[in-house]
């Protein structure tokens, strides 16, 4: 990882119910999101908050991306399979949201490194990541005794250990 890229050492993990409670009870996330600065006669955004959300192709990750972007937070929606990005890209274009879709498979170290390098390059390393929502994961359905040990290990690897590794490498 380049020394140019200064990731802030803050980590915030949200659950959907917490997000809804905060935003539906009058909390205005737009306060403190960014400041405007006049440069050469143009207003430019300065100090805009940046969020990275893993597992954004559907469900909670998808909705969290839209919530943050609609609130003015520069949002990076990451997903393993970019073929699932059509809907979020259409909504981003239609609403002109500050959202960018990036391919990242949390189970592959090179994919994670490449995604964070891409985020860093977007701002020449001058902007840190303020919010990380570790949402990527998958479920196994059925009785535990019906699951293979390999499937259970894979689930723990993705749903627990990859999250810890992502946080410790880039935020702690």
Global pTM value: 0.72
Tell whether the torsion through CA atoms of 14, 91, 162 and 158 is positive or negative: positive
150 pLDDT band, cuts 50/70/90, is very high
Each domain of the chain, given as residue ranges in start order, spans 16-170
Q: What pLDDT was estimated at residue 19? A: 41
The fold of 16-170 is: Rossmann fold (3.40.50)
d(CA 49, CA 30): 10
Place of tokens 């996330």: 29
Give pLDDT tens digits for 100-111.
999 999 888 899
114-141 pLDDT tens trace:
998 888 888 665 657 888 898 888 888 8
Buried/exposed code over 114-145 (b: 16+ C-beta within 10 A; e: otherwise):
ebbeebbeeeebebbbbbbbbbbeeeeeeeee
């Amino acid at each position: 990882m380049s020394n140019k890229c200064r990731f802030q050492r803050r980590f915030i993990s949200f659950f959907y119910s917490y997000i809804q409670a905060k935003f539906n009870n009058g909390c205005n996330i737009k306060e403190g999101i960014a400041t405007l600065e006049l440069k050469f006669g143009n207003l430019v955004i300065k100090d805009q908050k940046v969020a990275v959300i893993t597992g954004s192709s559907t469900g909670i990750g998808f909705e969290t991306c839209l919530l943050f972007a609609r609130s003015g937070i520069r949002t990076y929606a990451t997903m393993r399979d970019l073929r699932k990005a059509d809907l979020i890209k259409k909504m981003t274009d239609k609403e002109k949201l500050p959202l960018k879709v990036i391919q990242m498979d949390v189970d592959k170290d090179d994919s994670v490194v490449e995604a964070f390098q891409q985020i860093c390059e977007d701002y020449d390393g001058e902007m840190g990541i303020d919010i990380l929502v570790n949402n990527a994961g998958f479920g196994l359905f059925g009785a535990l005794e019906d699951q293979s040990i390999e499937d259970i290990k894979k689930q723990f690897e993705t749903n627990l250990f990859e999250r810890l590794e992502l946080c410790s490498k880039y935020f702690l």
